[in-house]
Structure 1
Amino acid sequence: MNKPIFPTPEDAEQAFYDAFGRSDLEALMAVWSEDDETVCVHPGGSRFTGLAAIRESWKQLFATGMKFRIQLSHPVKTHSMLMAVHCVLQHITVEDDDNIAPPLITTNVFVRGAHGWQLLTHHTSPAPDTNGLLLQDTPHVVH
């Protein structure tokens, strides 16, 4: 199977979250850059560096059997010719669980190479208790 080509960072991000929601490890890993310095940080978890460690971390998460619904909101995006940074609020619910978890703060870093855009870094952290400050309007222009 050929690795998919993502023409925009948004296409790569959509493919990542679609695969996450389906617990599709192969599709999720197809979004990642093959760079040796790939990094993934799960909420409250360790830092995983390199594709083998990242793959294993997602494999363990998907092995729990939980099915996730993920929605993104309040994006702040910065793009250049070869790199894009998306900082979003990530809202995750687990199927068959009515609990509404607070949003997570996520930063996705994408790099552009010969084969389109790929994910270099995915870092998700629990949001601090900010009494609603996270949900304020986001700037339209990032300086």
Structure 2
Amino acid sequence: MSSKKPNYTSAAAAEAAFYEALTHSDLDAMMSVWSDEQEVVCIHPGGPRIVGLESVREVWRQMLSSAAHLRIDVTQAVVSSNAMMAMHSVFENIRLEGQSLRAPAIAATNIYMHGASGWRMVMHHASVVPDDSDFGALSPRVVH
């Protein structure tokens, strides 16, 4: 297998490759999406902030080595981008392959930067979406 990373021509192509790698528990494909810069950041639901390429690789290695095949439906994308950066805010609806029960929805923010080798992920931040009942007395106008 070649060590050369694919040249993702758009942030959407990089994002598709990210979710394909996650679905197939493919660490090499997962890391082909990430930037080679050391300032990358990854935060999984309920987990700590992981900073640095080797640390991000290790957390994905652990997660993908123990994971069953996942079915991931990405919905409600909100995309903001310019020529150098793209931010995708999505909902990840995840279930184990072969099962109909879904885990709670995950809100994820994926940030991509454009460089000489195409588009690469620099941040993935995911967290569980609380039930509407968890908002209690908060005003619907509160967005943070």
Task: Give me the whole-angstrom Cα distance separating, in 1, the residues matched to 2:67 and 2:116.
Answer: 36
User: How far apart are residue 51 of structure 1 and its match?
Assistant: 1.1
The aligned amino acid for 2:45 is P
Structure 1, residues 58-109: CA drift from partner, whole Å, max 9, x if none? Answer: 1111221411111100000001110000000011111244322221000000
Provide structure 2 residue ranges, at least 5 long, that are not aligned to the other structure. Answer: 134-144
**SS of match in other structure, 2:127:** strand
Would you say 1:28 and 2:30 are equivalent positions?
yes
Moved segments of 4+, more than 6 Å? none
Structure 1, residues 10-43: CA drift from partner, whole Å, max 9, x if none? Answer: 0000001001101000010010011111000011
- Partner residue, 1:55: 57
Task: Give me the whole-angstrom Cα distance separating, in 2, the residues matched to 1:18 and 1:65.
Answer: 14
**SS of match in other structure, 1:84:** strand
Task: Give me the whole-angstrom Cα distance separating, in 2, the residues matched to 1:106 and 1:65.
Answer: 19
Q: 1:42 aligns with which of 34, 37, 44?
A: 44
Task: Give me the whole-angstrom Cα distance separating, in 2, the residues matched to 1:76 and 1:130.
Answer: 20
The aligned amino acid for 2:48 is S
Q: 1:95 aligns with which of 94, 97, 103?
A: 97
Q: TM-score, normalised by structure 2?
A: 0.87
- Partner residue, 1:74: 76
Say what the alpha-carbon RMSD is for the aligned residues.
1.1
Between 1:2-11 and 1:62-71, the stretch displaced more is 62-71
Larger radius of gyration: 2
Aligned length: 131
- Partner residue, 1:139: none
**SS of match in other structure, 2:132:** coil
- Partner residue, 1:12: 14
Task: Give me the whole-angstrom Cα distance separating, in 2, the residues matched to 1:34 and 1:96.
Answer: 35
